[in-house]
Each structure stands twice: as C-alpha cells, then as structure tokens.
Amino acid sequence: MGDDRPSIVAACLLLSLTFAVPVYADIRIGVAGPINSGNTQWGARLTAAAQLAVNDINSAGGILGEKVALEVVDDRCEAVDAVAVANQLVAQDARLVVGHYCSEASVPASAVYSHENIIQISPTATSNLLTDLGSGPRIFRIGGRDDAQAKAAAQYIGKLNAAGSLEIAVAYDGSVYSQSLADQVISELKNLVKPPKTVETFAPGAADYTTLVNKLKSASIGIVFAIGSDKDIATIAKTLKASAPTMRLMGSDAIATKTFALEAGAAADSVLMTLPPDNRITSGANVTIRLKAANADSFGNALAIYAAIQAWAQAAKDTRSFDAAVIAAYLHLVAVPTVIGSVRFDAKGDNVSQTYGVYEWVSGDYKLAP
C-alpha cells in the first residue's frame, strides 16, 4: 500500500484555504500544571521539556515564519484552578495547550478548550475520561491511558504469580488520578490474575508509611501496586526496605522521575513501574542529553512533553495553518515522527502508537524489567 501522507496533507491544505491566515506577533503555546504549588517537581519537568521544544522551533526559524512563545500557568492539579487558567489561556490566544499535567485538572479544562476551538495535547494525564467523554476532535492525549497501564501491570504481576501463591495488594492516595487507576488495576487483576487480597488507601504527604506497611505485612502481601506522588511512593519504598524487604513494590508511571530516584535512594532498587516505551537512548537521545545538560528531569514522560509540541508544530507546518480544525484533522490522519517515535491519534484523540511495559529501578535509573 502506498504512502497516503501527501494526499492527506493536500486535503488539509485545501481545508486550510477556507480559513484566513493572519500575521501573529508570537504564536502562543500554553503549558499548564503544578508550577508553583503542590508537586512542583512535575511542573518543573513540564516547563523544561516544553521550553526546549520551543527553543528548537525558534532556532530553526519558527513556524511559517512566526516565533513561538510559552505561556506557563499554575493549575495546582485542581479542577477549579484548571478551568480558571484554561480561560486565562483562551484570553491569551493560546493556539496549543500542552497539559494539563494531572488528570483531575486536564479533564475539566478540556471542556474549555473544546468550546474555544483550541488544541489540547496532554502528555501526562492518563485518566480514560480525558478522551472517553467525547469533548471533541481537538482534545488529544499523547501519553498512555489508565486501562492500558493497568493491563500491563496485571499481566506482569500474573507472571510473578506463576505458582499462584503470591498475595497481591493495591494501595492508593485517594486522589482522582489514583482512584481511577486503582479501579482499573483491580479490574484487570480480577480478570487476568486474581483479586487483590487487600485494597488500602493512604494519606498523601506522610513522613512515613509504617501503618500502611504493617497492614500489608499482616496480610502476607508479596507485591503491592501503589499509586500516588513520586515523593510518597519513595517514602513507601524506604519503609518497605526497612521493615518488609522481601515485599515487591510496583508503582505507576508517576514514579518515573528524578525526584523518585533521589528521594528513595537505595530503596528504589528493584522497584517496578508501568511506563510507555523508553526512548531515551533511541529516538529521544538528543533531547535527553540536552535535558540532562540543563539539569532537567529527563525521565519518564519528559520526551512526551517535547513530542506534544513537536507533533503540533509539524501539523502547522505541513498544513500551513494555525487553525485548530485544520491541525486536528491532520493529527487524526497522519503519523508524525517525534522523539517518542511515530505518533498518530485515533478518532477519540488517543495516541494509537502508545503502549505500556514494566520497568525496574536499578542504581538510580530504570530498565525494562525481566
């Protein structure tokens, strides 16, 4: 079968002719996440990767001769704040919003962007609701979904439970994100392995998690899938290492961060986590090297943040348009090469190329788990 890209681009160009193409002072890209409050380490990663992508675009002459500028807003990973800053980005004439970082912010903000005809590409929000709610053709997720992440976790736990004697627990911090993923993991464990012996919640931000670990020990748990912030899962890892060293810990993609490695220290070793494919030494090698050189977090979804801007920029260049309808049509039809590999979005806005695997922390870094 031949390459359909030229004909698709031609169709998008034809569509773009129906829209006026004004001259802009700067093309504004919104970046939304926990910038100054809450999990600011996530906001720092989001901003660093997005700024590098914008710098690269501008160094290459911009897009259609126009320079690109970031508008960074703090949503505190909260729904009310997310809607407020989404409207702020509307007022600033943002053409693209990269974010929001957290699902509980990204989902309500998506309604604003859909209504205001703005492209939203979230590199990090995994809640199925972001694309399942049908907010419209301009809402995209370049990262993975909770259901895919949960299935990868359950399949790997099933491999560890080949003998059938491993007791399993799920623990989560009660946030919208953790509740959604916990529900998916529990469902997949029931379908593919066996029901978890216990499901626990824990308060975020605790100094230690001895009470939680003691409950898991009392239930003779062999592996716990724990969902929360990278800092909290690092604290759980240290507590397990001190009092239950044989119990395995698996986390979500939220712990694929430099913060987790630094906070957990030696306790990070052998911790498992679900994560999309690791492109740091393949298609994303150059960007990874430059993020490291800037002392920015190059782990986990840093490359997906860069790729979100990369995909949008390629769509604008190929269609010679900044109109959201034109760019959205292109992104739904064309596979775009990015630092995380080829990206194409399905009818709902999910990246059809995105999958999950299980990785293991070893000596301050992670690799594909055996």
Task: Please give the span between the terminal C-alpha atoms of the chain, in angstroms, as a whole number.
Answer: 37
pLDDT of residue 6: 53
Looking at the structure, do residues 124 and 12 belong to the same domain, yes or no?
Answer: yes
In the predicted structure, residue 302 carries a pLDDT above the cut 50: yes
Domain at 315, CATH number: 3.40.50.2300
Mean pLDDT of 273-277: 97
Q: Looking at the structure, do residues 270 and 224 belong to the same domain, yes or no? A: yes
Residues 189 and 289 in one domain: no
Q: Are residues 98 and 28 in the same domain?
A: yes
pLDDT value, residue 1: 40
Q: What is the mean pLDDT of residues 231-256?
A: 97
* Residue 4 in this model has a pLDDT that exceeds 60: no
* Whole-number pLDDT of residue 129: 95
CB atoms under 10 Å from CB of 5, counted, come to: 14
Domain co-membership, 271 together with 287: no
Q: Do 231 and 215 share a structural domain?
A: yes
Per the domain annotation, does 260 fall within a domain? Answer: yes
Instruction: Identify the band that residue 246 occupies on the pLDDT scale cut at 50, 70 and 90.
Output: very high
Q: What is the pTM of this model?
A: 0.91
Instruction: Of 3-17, 26-40, 252-266, give the lowest mean pLDDT range.
Output: 3-17
Q: Identify whether 352 is part of a domain.
A: no
Q: Using pLDDT thresholds of 50, 70 and 90, give the confidence band for residue 241.
A: very high
In-domain check, residue 155: yes
Same domain, 110 and 132: yes
Same domain, 314 and 258: no
Residue 178 lies in a domain: yes
Do 181 and 197 belong to one domain? Answer: yes
The number of CA neighbours under 13 Å toward the Cβ of 369 is 25
Asked if residue 79 belongs to a domain, the reply is: yes
What was the pLDDT predicted at 37? 84
One domain for residues 223 and 304: no
pLDDT tens-digit series, residues 126-177? 999 999 998 889 999 999 999 999 999 999 999 999 999 999 999 999 998 9
Q: Are residues 257 and 361 both part of a single domain?
A: yes
Kindly report, residue by residue over 55-111, the tens digit of the pLDDT: 999 999 999 999 999 999 999 999 999 999 999 999 999 999 999 999 999 999 999
Asked if the structure places residue 349 within a domain, the reply is no
pLDDT for 307 beyond 60: yes
Domain limits for position 216: 147-275+357-368
Total count of domains within the chain: 2
Banded pLDDT at 3 (limits 50, 70, 90): low
**Which tokens in the block code for residue 26?**
């700067």
- 346 in a domain, yes or no? no
pLDDT digits (tens, 9 = 90+) for 309-354: 999 999 999 999 999 999 999 999 999 999 999 999 999 999 999 9
